[in-house]
Amino acid sequence: MQYKNKILFLIGLLGIVTIILIIVLTTLYGPMTTNSNEVEVVIPPGTSIKEIGAILEEANVIRSKNLFYIYVKLYNVGYLGSSNYILNTNMSVKEIINTLKIENNNPNQIVITFKEGIDIDEFINLVVSKTNNNNNTVKTKLKDKSFLNSLIDKYWFITKDILNEDLYHPLEGYLYPNTYFFHNKDVEVETIIIKMLDAFERDLKPLKKEMLKSDYSAFEIITLASIIELEGAKTEDRLNIANVFYNRLNKRMNLGSDVTSYYGVSVKIQERDLTVEEFNDDNPYNTRLANMQGKLPVGPICNPSKDSIIATIRPKKNNYYYFVADKRKKIYFSETLKEHEEIIKTIKNKGDWITW
């Protein structure tokens, strides 16, 4: 009798453990949430299973990269493809893996990486070099009024500001930096642009309320972010630079940003120094001009990162009105013109002044 009771006890215990194990595994390998939240995930070519797990964990679509690795090995999943994937936080690990396996055998797939801070000219060069589109085709699409108006209707952050005839490039600032995968080299320019704008919209979604509540329009925020992108490389510097610009705008000072002067005369930064005439060139981008007091340039000067956009929306409060960088990219902030000039003098005396 006692032996029978022990057997029944062990069977019951095993059943309880099994149920608990099923619940635990279902939770661990199940969806992160029941709510629908799309997340773009980029899996570069040559990424290992462990690295894919780390990318998915960072994107908050799985709970553990280690458990993901165990699942892949346990079920002998095999090869997972490299591409841009739109995943959802309500997807299970199995569903995610099935998505990653789609189109993983396309030998004609192309990958284009658009780096943070590139401008439209660089975008055109990349598209022409990586696809079968020619220079004229890309430029024509970028200025197609019918296409631009369709974008205004589709995306909340694109407004009629992009139709301003003074803009060098209507979509400057909106072509979101990232790595993108396309089916083959015959991809159309419109497909590339839409994919980049869709990525921009997804990353702006958590910031939308703040942007709409701002005293500045989405166009103005992106414009200022594009300047901050080129003026500072580190997050902390960008946060301070953003507030310097707001301080200057509130005091009706001009921004005095050299990067806007370069863009205004179509000279690339690091290409060469500008002449005095170029620094004083009367164009709608040049924030060094006296008539630009309290004003932003007519539009963005590059395609900024999310980091710079966040800095623009959430600047670090300070009392600085000036900043300057040395050739090591260290940025010095100051509250007065006198302090600013002394810092410049010190930088030059140390031989750390930037020259091209």
pLDDT band at residue 193 under the 50/70/90 scheme: very high
Q: Are residues 92 and 127 in the same domain?
A: no
Residue 230 has which token pair? 């080129």
In a domain, 165, yes or no: yes
Q: Which CATH number goes with the domain that contains 65?
A: 3.30.1490.480
Whether residue 105 has pLDDT greater than 60: no
- pLDDT at residue 239 greater than cutoff 60: yes
Q: With respect to residue 264, please indicate whether it lies within any of the assigned structural domains.
A: yes
Q: Quote the pLDDT of residue 23.
A: 54
26-73 tens-digit pLDDT: 555 567 677 788 888 888 777 788 888 888 888 888 888 888 888 878
**124 and 192 housed in the same domain:** yes
Mean of pLDDT values over 263-275:
89
Are 241 and 317 in contact by the 8 Å Cβ rule? The answer is no
Per-residue confidence (pLDDT) for residue 16, from 0 to 100: 60
Summary mean pLDDT of the chain: 87
pLDDT at 272: 85
How confident is residue 25, by pLDDT bands cut at 50, 70 and 90? Answer: very low
Domains contained in the chain, number: 4
Cβ proximity of 240 and 318 under 8 Å: yes
69/35 same-domain check: yes
Is there a domain that residue 105 lies in? no
Considering the domain boundaries, does residue 52 fall inside one?
yes
Q: Is the pLDDT of residue 298 over 60?
A: yes
The parent domain of residue 336 ranges over: 323-356
**Residues 139 and 72 reside in one and the same domain:** no
Choose the final residue of a domain: 155, 178, 205.
205
Domain end position, chosen among 70, 100, 130: 100
Looking at the whole model, is its pTM more than 0.95?
no
